[in-house]
Amino acid sequence: MDRPVSAVSERLSSPIPGCGTVEAATFEQRGTAVEIKIGVKHLAREVVVDLDQTAEAFKETFEKALSDGSVLSLTDAHGRQVLIPAEAVAYVEIGQPNARPVGFGSL
């Protein structure tokens, strides 16, 4: 208990083995999630996907799939993959970048 304050602060500021830039990078990616709502023709419900990419990156992906007439392939923040034929898309709503959610929900 009689340790000098400088020794304690030095110990706290030293890196912990196994923790480092990987965790920081993962946190930054989750902090920039964008919610995308896609309306599909002949479906009553819209498809909602939380992406770990920017809105501009999604727009490029969507425009490429639409111009090629191919399948829009998206991977959400939890690793699930959503495939939608580009010609079946009725509308797309791009939300604002989300901050990290607060609460007891899963990441």
- Rounded to two decimals, what is the model's pTM? 0.60
- Domain range spanning residue 66? 36-96
Burial degree of 72 (CB within 10 A; 0-12, 13-18, 19+): buried
Residue 6 located in a structural domain? no
Q: Which residue has the tokens 């400088």?
A: 6
Identify the pLDDT of residue 78. Answer: 86
Q: Which residue pairs from 58-66 have beta carbons closer than 8 angstroms and sit at least 24 positions apart in sequence? A: 58/34, 58/94, 59/94, 62/86, 62/89, 62/92
Q: Is 63 part of a structural domain of the chain?
A: yes
Instruction: Give me the number of domains the chain comprises.
Output: 1
Q: What is the pLDDT of residues 58-106, one digit of tens each?
A: 999 999 999 999 999 999 888 999 999 999 999 999 988 765 566 676 6
